[in-house]
Amino acid sequence: MLPMAGAWLKFIHPLTGVICKVLAVDLDNTLWGGVLGEDGLDGLKLGVEYPGALYRGFQRAVLDLYQRGILLAVCSKNNHDEAMAALQNHPGMLLRPEHFAAFRINWQDKAQNLREIAEELNVGIDSIAFFDDNPSRES
């Protein structure tokens, strides 16, 4: 996942001419492997060995963007309290709640949640990049 993320981020600006100010990420099968509601905290794939190492590599790339001044947000269909506990307590997590400027962890439409994130952070919707495991479905 890390090479794909690096390649995507390397070419997004030159192709679109738009500067990404915010990177919004999904959680399940994006920031970590597995589905929190089905696998539980202990069942998430996030560690130093495959396949968890892929997700940690992606988190390293996201953390690098954060350190370069890109705002981070979470946009995920999940139980809010369980997701926040995973972000705060999972030993494999590199990204923690304090790295994120906005959270939309609920069961609402992701497009609406992204619009709300843009409004909360006072940026245009066109300056948000959204990274999800499956962009073709509303999940």
Query: Could you report the per-residue pLDDT of 17-71, keeping only the tens digit for each?
Result: 557 899 999 999 999 999 999 999 999 999 999 999 999 999 999 999 999 999 9
Confidence check: pLDDT of 138 > 80: no
Contact 27, 90 (CB under 8 A): no
Enclosing H/E stretch for 7: helix 2-16
pLDDT reading at 139 higher than 60: no
Buried b / exposed e over 108-124, threshold 16 CB at 10 Å, is eebeebbeebbeebebe
- What letter does residue 93 receive in the DSSP assignment? -
Query: Which structure tokens are listed for 13?
Result: 């600006």
pTM of whole model > 0.75? yes
Residue 14 predicted with pLDDT over 90? no
Q: Which residue did the predictor score with more confidence, 9 or 126?
A: 126
